[in-house]
Structure 1
Amino acid sequence: MKSRPSWLRRLLRRMGAPFRYLTPRGLLGRALLIILLPLLILQAVALQLFYGGHLDIISRRLAGGVAGDVGMVVEILGRQAPGEDHGWVFRQAAWRLDLSLAFEPEASIGMPSQRQSWLPILPLEEDLSQALRERVGLPFDTDWQSDPRSVIIRVQMPGGVLHVEAPRKRLFFGTLYLFVIWLVGTSLLLFVVAALFMKNQVRAIRRLASAAEAFGMGREIGPIKPEGASEVRQAAAAFNQMQARIRRFINQRTEMLAGISHDLRTPLTRLRLSLAMLPAGTEEDAAAMSEDVAEMERMIATYLAFARGEGLEHAQPADLAELVEDLAARARRDGAMVTVEVPGSVMLPVRVDALRRCLGNLLDNARRHARRIALAITEVPREEAGRPPGRWVLITVDDDGPGIPEAAREEAFKPFTSFSAGGTGLGLAIARDIARAHGGDIALEGSPLGGLRARVRLPA
């Protein structure tokens, strides 16, 4: 099967661009539009066929019947001698034709009355006027507003004006209203049923999307209940299986790393004991070797922390302002000049120990290279396509150190990439891994203090 040419795809995309802004963005709105649009088109076609065919023919026939009766009365009156009594004709018309007649001698209808501009011209009025022109053949005028139950027809005759009052029931019939009520009523009923059904289906999809978003933020949600259509139930079951497999993988990895940590620390402990039992006179060499062993232990702990990623900790509500104040107090005890600016209590479901490690790594990096550090918490709206509206919590760590060149800031997040002597290059990598596990991220920017700014973004 050949694909469409590129120019055709561009043309179709350009033609459909204006309609893209008019269509709903949500699944419920689009599904209801898919149901409602064909329903309206079907109604319009059915109404047009009914009125343009059956109803239009009946309307013209009814109007022709009234116009024929009026024309017959006009013809009879025209054949009577001048001054002759019209009473017998009027009585016969009232009894046999259901028309109320009156004759106004020496009168004139003048110019046809102008219809008010805000009143619509009904098709029945056009049919009646056309039939009167064909079957009466004299100047006439119609009045549809004076009496709600009758139509007044004035015919200009040689001796005066003939007033004819025709009941509207001779021009209308009840099947039109029954047809419209049936058409609109059944359509509304079908639309309500479809809306309720689609709402239930969309609710299941929304729950699945919320569960996926919460799981991506590291929150414990447990398995979700499959509901809705078979495809949605299948997606929910697949999500539960995926969630179980990911958690099983994290648990197995954590247990394996715990065993590796134990196995690696055992020989290091034996090395420490061996260094402590060295004979006298080798203190200088033993001290250098002890420093190497301590460095190895620190590197192993850092590597294991990076690989483990706090996978076993569950998210729970915590006050970010209190956490930031606690980290700032610890940094001050280590000799750093730290200022804190928080808006008050900021409650957020997070993995507390993991987030403490994330912010602690950023503070340690700032304290190692700068003299002044500024911590701040702000909240901004969250507007992303495909995600429900919410807010972001921003935690910024500013310093007045030398900073990192803009071209190398993204490189700093790669594992084992260090811009300072003695560093393992895992601090920023661990911090970003933790932030992304919460559904957020970390970015490096220029700081107002002249150094580096680390901006942690967490979804609320």
Structure 2
Amino acid sequence: MAPRSLFARNVLLLVALVAVSQVCALAVLLHFIQTPRIERAAATFASYIQTLDTVLRSTAPGTARDVTAHLDVRRNLPAAASASVDESRLRFYRTYQRETFVESLRRHLPADMPVRWQSADTSDDGQQRLWIRVHLSGEPRWMALPVPEAAHDDGLATALLLSLGLGALAVATAYAIQRHLNRPLEHLADAARRVSSGDDPGVLPTDGPTEIAQVSDAFNRMTAALAEAEATRALMLAGISHDIRTPMTKLRLAMAMSAVPSTDAVFASSAEGYLDQIDSILQQFMDYAGSGAKETAVAGDLNALVASLAADFAGLGHEFSLSLGSIRTFAFRPISVMRMLMNVMQNAVLYGVSGLEVRTWTDEQANAACIVVADRGKGLGTQDPESLKQPFKRGGGEGQPKGTGLGLAIVERIARLHGGRLDLRAREGGGVEAVIVLPMPASPNETQP
């Protein structure tokens, strides 16, 4: 299976290219250089053997004993001698040399002068030999020619090792170059993740290779445009909020100074409720636009914040059952997290009414703080939990409280801003559970979650 990353693929391609080049170089060396050299040596050696055989043929029978005393000439071939050369996979080049030399020698010698090979393991003195049949005084004899071990080492093994070393050096160099080229891409991916979580990625350097520099420059322009659009949106919403709240304040003042409250209390109460609802909607729009991205994270006690909010809701007549587990102090954006918890707890009050509960604990494996806000309302039904987290998507049916549909979207944005997530799921026994997971930095002094 091919690796998925571009870095691994490029390194694998470079390794494959170096390996193929080394194999091709070795094949060219053996076929066009070494093989002709060995065959020429075998032809020269065969001519010497034939000359020696001619001399031995003409040797007088009386002097044959003196010849055998100086040459290892035997009447019978040793049983260990064979027609094939012993092979070794670890020393493939030595095996190749032997086989090429013996086969070439056989081609250059007459048919009545066969060649046999005896390995060092089977000889009495531990030396390998070539056995060639010659004719001493006209009678066939086997003559042994010792083959020194040094004759098989002509420096090619060293050359092969040097070639492999150069190949390894080429792979290491290619690895270092590819790492250097991939570093800007890693920075770009990290910056993209920071943008998706709502952080400021900073300005990427554009001093790398031309193609990557163009991508980094385009990314910098994109983030600048996004920041400008975000600032424009926040300014627009702030302007809308200010422009709407000014006449609302005047309307409240006019109603308070008029005779309406004393003459029609129901109408006055209804009008005040509508004004409060408009003010709440404006505040939700502002919360969604702000999302706390510019707030600095500080070390705090999440359980203390949950307990404080539960006490505030209890003062309004909404009791939350608390089950607070052990969560160490870690860095988070306190105002944003308070807004996130208020929204999800307010949702439980509005849609659940009863069975209100908040549980916290630490997920040691994920090194994250977990908060569950649960209720005993009508539950999710057939609604898709993911769609409820989208802006302007409201849950509930007839008779349920109306809103802007931004509450859970705000919770989702703040959770993602901290590198966490919001999950909605059905509660066992009825109702809904909103699960918030917030990663905890490794050190309490870390200021960026």
Query: Aligned match of 2:348 in 346, 353, 366?
Result: 366
Q: State the distance in 1 between where 2:379 and 2:371 align.
A: 18
Partner SS state of residue 126, structure 1: helix
| Corresponding residue number in structure 2 for 1:246 | 226
Residue type of the alignment partner of 1:153 = L
Kindly tell me: are residues 341 and 290 of structure 1, through their superposed partners in 2, closer, same or farther at Cα, counting changes over 3 Å?
A: closer
- 2:319 corresponds in structure 1 to 336
Give yes or no for contact 2:388–2:395 (8 Å, CA) kept in 1.
Answer: yes
Distance 1:149 1:417 in 2: 93
Aligned AA (2:394): T
Counterpart of 1:397 in structure 2 is 373
Q: Distance in 2 between matches of 1:72 and 1:325?
A: 109
2:130 maps to a residue whose letter is I
* Cα deviation 1:419-459 (Å, max 9, x = unaligned): 25443133223223433455554332211352112233556
Q: 1:142 aligned to 2:125? A: no
Deviation digits for residues 242-270 of structure 1 (CA, Å, limit 9, x no counterpart): 22222222223222322222222222222
Which consecutive unaligned segments of at least 5 residues does structure 1 have? 1-20, 92-100, 382-389
Alignment RMSD, CA only? 3.7
Whether the 8 Å contact between 2:358 and 2:371 is mirrored in structure 1 is no
* Residue 417 (1) aligns with residue 399 (2): no
- Secondary structure at the residue paired with 1:407? coil
* 1:28 corresponds to: 7
Question: How do 1:176-191 and structure 2 match up within 5 A?
Answer: 176-177=156-157, 179-181=159-161, 183-191=163-171
Q: Map of 1:262-341 to 2, 5 A cutoff?
A: 262-279=242-259, 281-282=262-263, 284=265, 285-314=267-296, 320=302, 323-334=305-316, 335-341=318-324
Tell me how far 1:338 sits from its aligned partner.
2.5
Contact 2:86 2:119 in 1 (8 A): no
Q: Which residue of 1 aligns with 2:129?
A: 152
- Match for residue 360 of structure 2? 376
| Structure 2 contact 299–329 (Cα < 8 Å) conserved | no
The answer (yes or no) to whether the contact 1:367–1:373 under 8 Å persists in 2 is no
Paired letter, 1:109: P
- 1:66 Cα deviation after fit: 3.0
User: Hey, what does 1:345 align to over in structure 2?
Assistant: 328
How far the C-alpha of 1:405 sits from its partner, in A, is 0.7
> Aligned partners of 1:191 and 1:173: how far apart in 2?
28
Q: CA deviation at 1:76?
A: 2.6
- Identity, % of aligned positions: 25
- CA distance in structure 2 between the aligned counterparts of 1:109 and 1:149, rounded to whole angstroms: 14
Amino acid at match of 2:208: G
C-alpha separation between the residues in 2 aligned to 1:316 and 1:247? Answer: 24
Checking the alignment, whether the CA contact within 8 Å between 1:220 and 1:314 is kept in structure 2 is: no
Determine if contact 1:67/1:131 at 8 Å carries over to the other structure: no
- Alpha-carbon spacing, 1:238–1:317, altered in 2? closer, same or farther (3 Å): farther
Q: Aligned in 2, Cα 1:78/1:426: closer, same or farther, shift over 3 Å?
A: same
The 10-residue stretch of structure 1 (44-53 or 118-127) with the greater mean CA deviation from structure 2: 118-127
Contact 1:139 1:156 in 2 (8 A): yes
The code of the aligned residue for 1:402 comes to: K
- Aligned position for 1:450: 430
Determine the C-alpha separation between the residues in 1 that align with 2:297 and 2:195. 10
Note closer, same or farther for the CA distance 1:303–1:203 as it changes in structure 2 (3 Å cut): closer
Q: 1:306 to 1:195 in 2, by over 3 A?
A: closer
Q: Verify: 1:40 aligned to 2:19, yes or no.
A: yes
Seen in structure 2, the aligned counterparts of structure 1 residues 395 and 144 have a Cα distance that, compared at 3 Å, is: farther
Q: Distance in 2 between matches of 1:341 and 1:67?
A: 96
- SS for the counterpart of 1:162 is strand
Q: Secondary structure at the match of 1:376?
A: strand
Instruction: Note closer, same or farther for the CA distance 1:87–1:395 as it changes in structure 2 (3 Å cut).
Output: farther
Q: Number of residue pairs matched?
A: 419
The answer (yes or no) to whether the contact 2:355–2:374 under 8 Å persists in 1 is no
**1:281–1:406 Cα change, 3 Å:** closer
CA shift, 1:346, in A, is 6.8
* Residue 103 (structure 2) aligned to one of 127, 130, 149: 130
Q: For the residues of structure 2 that align with 1:224 and 1:319, how far apart are their CA atoms?
A: 35
Q: State the SS of the aligned residue for 2:357.
A: strand
SS, match of residue 340 in structure 1? strand
Q: Describe the superposition over 1:387-418 as per-residue Cα deviations: whole angstroms up to 9, x where unpaired.
A: xxx87765433333321213354553451635
Specify the code of the residue in structure 2 equivalent to 1:133: R
The alignment's TM-score, normalised by the length of structure 1, stands at 0.77
Question: Residues 358 and 434 of structure 1 are in contact (CA less than 8 Å); yes or no, is this contact kept in structure 2?
Answer: yes
Q: Deviations over 1:275-328 (max 9, x none)?
A: 222248426244443333333322332333334434543556666555545544
Deviations 1:76-132 (A, max 9, x none): 3243233415767998xxxxxxxxx4335x554135358777666612211232244
Distance in structure 2 (CA, Å) of the matches to 1:63 and 1:324: 93
More deviation in 324-333 or 393-402?
Answer: 324-333
Residue 45 of structure 2 is aligned to residue 66 of structure 1: yes
Answer whether contact 1:254 1:311 (CA < 8 A) is retained.
no
**Residue in structure 2 matched with residue 385 of structure 1 by the alignment:** none
